[in-house]
Structure 1
């Protein structure tokens, strides 16, 4: 169905090809997962399937790419519209209509399908992806996860033979991600659709993959069976790290398979050796207090009377299904977002209690910093240096923003355009801009979207430094593995209300939907992360067991 014949792709000004001499042959009804660190060429490979690379991105393509016999060199991307459905990393960038129903129908209109066919397919897709209740909603009124499901649905209504997905579950809650992956799997198994998917949250998608395409970072691509390639791949989920640590062979790819190996490992691990999630960094006092927060978007009550207190030095994970009100709550706390009721008080550096929604913007920035779901929304200058200089002018000592950035991600050139940076670099830049004025409260909305495991480890280290410095940190996330790594406290929202609030180990293991892989595999032992397991095994070895 898809063939890459000695394909090399080089962008203008780049010293080396991002892909070099790639040979791939993907069959009908196959789900292939593209893995590799950020910047290894995953999006480039996906874009080459329907000719977006290089027709729209520029650069030079050597070799040949064919899809169902059509050559991308002689057929422009528009001539693949009936054959290849594409969902990019940023679903909003691909929307061309105003409402959910219109967006689902738009692609079929361009293919001149009949009204009866269009009506049937729209209804099927609404049911398939759980969008029926949102059919008349405006696209920009939806949460990030809901927008992502609409983008996937818009690609599916054309009934493509090939589906190309770049980070399809990055903004979805765990249950929503499982539903979408189950729907994609049905397309593969029942209709013979070929799916090529790039995804950093491998723990979600590896059990569904028929084959992996591993981009090693030197331009080469290796294709093979998941259990074989993951033996040596460098970007792998916790379950694979655990399998390597315990020397399981073959490597398990699902929690079910891992639990079959787990009894022996559970016998080796002490039941009470690691009871605390991590050393408590929480300091006395209160960094922020919110009472009876209400946010309405038209007839929708996004936040329904929520109250919470944040302590210095504490990292809180804010979780819940898509549309539960997480983003609305963060913006209300930050002060520039909508707030229809309630009060927020933040402790300023001089001890005053101020409401960030009732002070000047420059003062509010010193109280609360917020990194939105799409970090690039806060980048509007032409160079990194210009962004950093603007941050310093907004109230920091000159050079502060650059110092913060270099501490997180060293080596970003000042002359680079912010839009040309990777997702992880953009996130670091926006964090540096927000942290330059040293706010006491830091809010992050889905910060791990587009980040590989290595970049997430760097982000976790940065958040730990903020907590050690006495900042109160809130991370709204669907990434349960990241929450298990960084969070001291977890708050779960549903329909605008807080339904759970407590220590991370207690809340994350209370529901299978929010439990990390290590917890599911080693239950009932109180282990959440690979680091805890590794530490326990080191103690066992030191004791001479």
Structure 2
């Protein structure tokens, strides 16, 4: 279905090609998952399939890419629209109408389909993606995850033979992500649709993949093969694969179910080395920090137009504490962050950050108390270079010139001053926005979906940065759908549902009690209370020698039995 013949792409002024020597075929009716670190060329490869490369995004394309016999060099994206459907990282960039139902119909209108066909397909797509209740909603009122589902739906209504998906679940809560991936799997299995998908959250998608295409980056060649074989040597891999590598399982498990079938000996070993301290990145005790209160909400309610976004939420955020805020799309997470940052006035109750009432405070006062990094860090970046962003941050915070640049160098060494923010990777852009916000040294740091678009290496770097900031005395609240991040980083977890706070407690207790928000390691090793691969590895290093030898004797026997 999709053929790459000695494909290379080189962008002007780039030090190295984005792709080089790609020579492979993606068969019809299979889901091919692209994996690799940020900057390895995944988005460029997707662009060669739908014609965006080289027709719109620039770059010099060498070699030949064909989709169902059409050469993408000779066919512009509009000439491939009936064949290739594309959903990028930013769903809002796809929208051309104002209402959900109109957006679902727009692609079919462009192709001139009959009204009866359009009506039927719109209804089918509304049901498939759980959008029926949103059909009359303005797109501007939807949450990030809801917008992502609408963007995917607008592509599905055209019934393309090839789907190109760039991080389709990045803005979705775990339940919504499973629904979308189930639809994609149904399209592959039942309709023979070919899907080419790039996704950083491999724990969500790798079990659905028929093949994995690894782009290691640099001069290393691309590798296409069976998922377990490719991930055995991949620099990026989901936690369940990391656990399999640690335990020495072969073949490696791709799903929680596969891992649980092999995990009995490992669980037995871990019962002997149950740690008394938390072996996560923070290295601190299991107990929550006991810092002073930084912010407090008391029976806080917020109305967003006709919709009650928050309902009598009460919470206190402490210094030195990292709190994960979780909940399904539209639960009110971003609204709560906005209320703490002064963007939304309460319709009931009260909110305080330090001595201030956020929505009434002057910006120069508020910036020293609370800083918000939004879902898209580009919303904070408005100049042409990294140096100009840092200078503007110093001026806005009334800080000593060079303060932001010094902070950025500590967080992300080696970033060139003359680089345009739009040319940065997602992880670099997030770190720059974080440095801009932190220049004023706010006591409370708010992050909205901070790992969207980040690979595992960038996410690990973010964990280190936030852990260090918490140790310096900041209170950190991050809204996230990334259950693995919450398990790795958070001391405390809050869960919102329909604007109400339904859970508030130590992160381990909250996520272990939830089948939705539990990380992969917790599901594999339940009922033992382990959350991350890092935690298991640290515990096994403490394992008594005799128990270690017994465990090693048991595991090969189980593999042989299978």
- TM-score normalised by length of structure 2: 0.94
Q: Deviations over 1:79-107 (max 9, x none)?
A: 00000000000001111110110110010
Q: Unaligned regions of 5+ residues in structure 1, if any? A: 348-352
Written as runs of structure 1 = structure 2, the 5 A alignment for 1:214-233 is 214-218=214-218, 220-233=221-234
Q: Which residue of 2 aligns with 1:324?
A: 331
Q: Which residue of 2 aligns with 1:252?
A: 253
Are 1:261 and 2:262 an aligned pair? yes
Deviation at 1:270, TM superposition (A): 2.6
Q: Which residue of 2 aligns with 1:287?
A: 294
Instruction: Report if aligned partners of 2:273, 2:540 keep a CA contact under 8 Å in 1.
Output: no
Q: 1:307 aligns with which of 300, 307, 314?
A: 314
Q: Which residue of 2 aligns with 1:443?
A: 446
Written as runs of structure 1 = structure 2, the 5 A alignment for 1:5-24 is 5-24=5-24
Q: Which residue of 2 aligns with 1:354?
A: 356
Query: Take 1:317 and 1:303, find their aligned partners in 2: how far apart are those partners?
Result: 17
Q: Deviations over 1:302-354 (max 9, x none)?
A: 1112111001110000000000000011001111234323222122xxxxx21
Q: Deviations over 1:139-193 (max 9, x none)?
A: 1110000000000001100000000000000010001101100000000000000
Query: Take 2:411 and 2:192, find their aligned partners in 1: how far apart are those partners?
Result: 45
Written as runs of structure 1 = structure 2, the 5 A alignment for 1:62-77 is 62-77=62-77
Written as runs of structure 1 = structure 2, the 5 A alignment for 1:375-394 is 375-394=377-396
Deviation at 1:543, TM superposition (A): 7.2
Instruction: Report if aligned partners of 1:30, 1:194 keep a CA contact under 8 Å in 2.
Output: yes
Q: 1:489 aligns with which of 478, 492, 496?
A: 492
Q: Deviations over 1:32-79 (max 9, x none)?
A: 000000000000000110110111011100000000010011111110
With 160-169 and 273-282 compared, the bigger mean Cα shift is at 273-282
Query: Take 2:439 and 2:28, find their aligned partners in 1: how far apart are those partners?
Result: 52
Q: Deviations over 1:461-511 (max 9, x none)?
A: 111011101111001000000000000000000000000000001100111
Q: Which residue of 2 aligns with 1:502?
A: 505
> C-alpha root-mean-square deviation of aligned residues, in Å?
1.2
Query: Take 2:419 and 2:86, find their aligned partners in 1: how far apart are those partners?
Result: 28
Query: Take 1:542 and 1:390, find their aligned partners in 2: how far apart are those partners?
Result: 57
Q: Deviations over 1:178-209 (max 9, x none)?
A: 11000000000000000000000000000000
Query: Take 1:389 and 1:61, find their aligned partners in 2: how far apart are those partners?
Result: 38
Query: Take 1:40 and 1:239, find their aligned partners in 2: how far apart are those partners?
Result: 23
Q: Deviations over 1:264-299 (max 9, x none)?
A: 101111367225544256233211111122221221
Q: Which residue of 2 aligns with 1:104?
A: 104
Q: Which residue of 2 aligns with 1:350?
A: none
Instruction: Report if aligned partners of 2:291, 2:321 keep a CA contact under 8 Å in 1.
Output: no
Q: Secondary structure at the match of 1:93?
A: helix
- TM-score normalised by length of structure 1: 0.97
Query: Take 1:441 and 1:254, find their aligned partners in 2: how far apart are those partners?
Result: 37
Instruction: Report if aligned partners of 1:227, 1:250 keep a CA contact under 8 Å in 2.
Output: yes
Are 1:39 and 2:39 an aligned pair? yes
Written as runs of structure 1 = structure 2, the 5 A alignment for 1:103-252 is 103-218=103-218, 220-252=221-253
With 373-382 and 188-197 compared, the bigger mean Cα shift is at 373-382
Query: Take 1:336 and 1:498, find their aligned partners in 2: how far apart are those partners?
Result: 20
Query: Take 1:445 and 1:418, find their aligned partners in 2: how far apart are those partners?
Result: 19
Q: Which residue of 2 aligns with 1:430?
A: 433
Q: Secondary structure at the match of 1:21?
A: strand
| Moved segments of 4+, more than 6 Å | none
Q: Which residue of 2 aligns with 1:415?
A: 418
Q: Deviations over 1:8-36 (max 9, x none)?
A: 00001113211001012111110000000
Aligned residues: 540
- Give the 3 Å change call, closer, same or farther, for CA 357–261 of structure 1 in structure 2: same
Instruction: Report if aligned partners of 2:34, 2:214 keep a CA contact under 8 Å in 1.
Output: yes
Query: Take 2:6 and 2:195, find their aligned partners in 1: how far apart are those partners?
Result: 21
Q: Secondary structure at the match of 1:17?
A: coil
Q: Unaligned regions of 5+ residues in structure 2, if any? A: 279-283, 549-562
Instruction: Report if aligned partners of 1:7, 1:63 keep a CA contact under 8 Å in 2.
Output: yes
Are 1:480 and 2:483 an aligned pair? yes
Instruction: Report if aligned partners of 1:328, 1:338 keep a CA contact under 8 Å in 2.
Output: no
Query: Take 1:387 and 1:284, find their aligned partners in 2: how far apart are those partners?
Result: 32
Q: Which residue of 1 aligns with 2:553?
A: none
Instruction: Report if aligned partners of 2:273, 2:542 keep a CA contact under 8 Å in 1.
Output: no
Instruction: Report if aligned partners of 1:271, 1:525 keep a CA contact under 8 Å in 2.
Output: no
Query: Take 2:500 and 2:345, find their aligned partners in 1: how far apart are those partners?
Result: 16
Query: Take 1:23 and 1:160, find their aligned partners in 2: how far apart are those partners?
Result: 24
Q: Which residue of 1 aligns with 2:529?
A: 526
